[in-house]
Amino acid sequence: GAVVSQHPSRVICKSGTSVKIECRSLDFQATTMFWYRQFPKQSLMLMATSNEGSKATYEQGVEKDKFLINHASLTLSTLTVTSAHPEDSSFYICSASIPGTGDYGYTFGSGTRLTVV
């Protein structure tokens, strides 16, 4: 089935540094990918929608300059948390829509736990 691989699964970084999270579609072309953030014991909050070859669409309240999204190919989208602060510590999950006529399921990555110290 359609699989999305997300790396790293866990990362710890110092405050002020940048962290890049990768999301790859392994066996299909993902023209659209989504980035979510999940706080402890809370739901997934959509951060942005990325379309291959174009700028990402950010949800209200999400800082574009802080959370840089690049979707340069049909199999890779990246989320870079720039100048990370402790409040950016969270669980980040990517998702891709599964292509196919009449099939609009979604597949999810296994998530990245970011801890900023």
Give the residues lining the site for other proteins (CB under 8 A): 31-32, 34, 36, 42-46, 49, 93, 95, 97, 103-111
Report in angstroms how near the CB of residue 38 gets to other proteins at its nearest.
9
Report in angstroms how near the CB of residue 99 gets to other proteins at its nearest.
8
For residues 86 and 101, which CB has a smaller minimum distance to other proteins in the complex? 101
What distance in Å separates the CA atoms of residue 33 and residue 24, rounded to the nearest whole number? 10
Report in angstroms how near the CB of residue 47 gets to other proteins at its nearest.
10
SS3 state of residue 24: strand
Cβ proximity of 96 and 74 under 8 Å: no
What distance in Å separates the CA atoms of residue 113 and residue 110, rounded to the nearest whole number? 10
